[in-house]
Amino acid sequence: MKVAVVGATGMVGRTMIKVLEERNFPVTQLLPAASVKSVGKEITFKGKNVKVVSVMEAVEAKPVFAIFSAGGSASKEWAPVFAENGTVVIDNSAAWRMDPEIPLIVPEINSNVIKKGDRIIANPNCSTIQMVMALASLHRKYRIKRLVVATYQSVTGTGVKAVAQMENERRGIKGEMAYPHPIDMNCFPFGGSWLPSGYTSEEQKLVDETRKILGDQTIQITATVVRIPVVGGHSEAVNIEFENEYEMDDVRNLLNNFPGVVVYDVPAEHKYPMPILAHNKDEVFVGRLRRDFSKEKCLNMWIVSDNIRKGAATNAVQIAEYMAANKLY
């Protein structure tokens, strides 16, 4: 079971390696791959130092799985090369997500759509993963008609450069800017790139990916993405309009019984999900559950999850686990 991690020296790549180790994925040989400038560096896996190789070297080693977190252009270039060589690619970029031939997978929800012979599997956007984890069981029972989403996204979603910007600002140090504005003591309604519609690519992902994962193109969705000065996880305020009436107790039961979801909701004791709670955890935390009294069949909820773990690395490894267990490689 050779496994390549492409983009192994980045924030998500390093976490992918950590998660492979934590979950005891049966790796016989790890192939950490990265750009030319990182080749020869060493990373630690299961107490041993492993040298970073070039992407071409990883291809030639014919791994069973190649888990990518190297950006869209690298995925477009290299995923087909791995796939043609018989490797299953699990890609964390946006490059393949909306390709109708490529499965977009959150294992707890739609792993059943993966077929033997699929060679590229798309890992959804971090904000989408945590939201659909909280919505899937509710949609199955009540049918979601419309979603209004506001995200409050960690700087870790932008990467190491953004974390460094925030930390520099807190120390009063001038440094490289990942964002067009200061992020410490600030927030701004922007993430991704601007689209002609006036929305951003991060907002559009929430629309398109949610529909694809839940298998329902009729769900109406509007989103606003906000970047905030925290690490630890993304937060989302979600207003859901159902087609059918719901019961609050049943909503709580459905969420409590969904694998990977934790209802953390005791407002009187100030217990509600926060990035500081979700940091370095794989669960999706849901709280502030309450009926929207301004409109029938509407529900409010607050969702928080670690965007680097379940939002990226852990979800990718779970896909590999499912495919390995079911001999789909």
* 299 and 200 belong to one structural domain: yes
pTM equals 0.96
Nearest to 101 by CA among 114, 88, 110, 90: 114
Residue from 139, 234, 270, 279 carrying the catalytic annotation: 234
* 184 and 272 belong to one structural domain: yes
- Quick check: is 298 catalytic? no
pLDDT recorded at residue 50: 97
pLDDT recorded at residue 212: 98
In angstroms, the CA 70 to CA 92 distance is 8
**Can you say whether residue 92 is alpha, beta or left, with left for phi > 0 and alpha for psi between -120 and 50 degrees?**
alpha
* 157 and 289 belong to one structural domain: yes
- Quick check: is 234 catalytic? yes
CB 299 within 8 A of CB 238: no
Domain of 98, CATH number, reads: 3.40.50.720
pLDDT recorded at residue 93: 96
* 289 and 318 belong to one structural domain: no
* DSSP designation for 189: S
* 22 and 156 belong to one structural domain: no
In angstroms, the CA 26 to CA 260 distance is 22
Domain of 148, CATH number, reads: 3.30.360.10
Nearest to 153 by CA among 191, 181, 123: 191
Pairing mode, strands 220-227 and 144-153: parallel
The residues, ordered by sequence, that sit 6+ positions from 70 with a Cβ below 8 Å of its Cβ are 6, 7, 10, 13, 34, 55, 78, 93
* DSSP designation for 306: -
* 83 and 168 belong to one structural domain: no
pLDDT recorded at residue 3: 98
pLDDT recorded at residue 245: 98
* 275 and 131 belong to one structural domain: yes
pLDDT recorded at residue 65: 98
Domain that holds residue 62: 2-123+312-325
* 119 and 180 belong to one structural domain: no
* 14 and 140 belong to one structural domain: no
| Cα atoms found within 13 Å of the Cα of residue 115, Cβ hemisphere only | 5
| Cα atoms found within 13 Å of the Cα of residue 77, Cβ hemisphere only | 8
Mapping DSSP to helix (H, G, I), strand (E, B) and coil, where does residue 325 land? helix
pLDDT recorded at residue 144: 98
- Structural domains in the chain (count): 2
CB 95 within 8 A of CB 79: yes
* 25 and 115 belong to one structural domain: yes
Is residue 16 within a helix (H) or strand (E), and if so which, with residue range?
Answer: helix 11-22
**Which of the residues in the chain have pLDDT under 50?**
none
* 289 and 163 belong to one structural domain: yes
* 118 and 151 belong to one structural domain: no
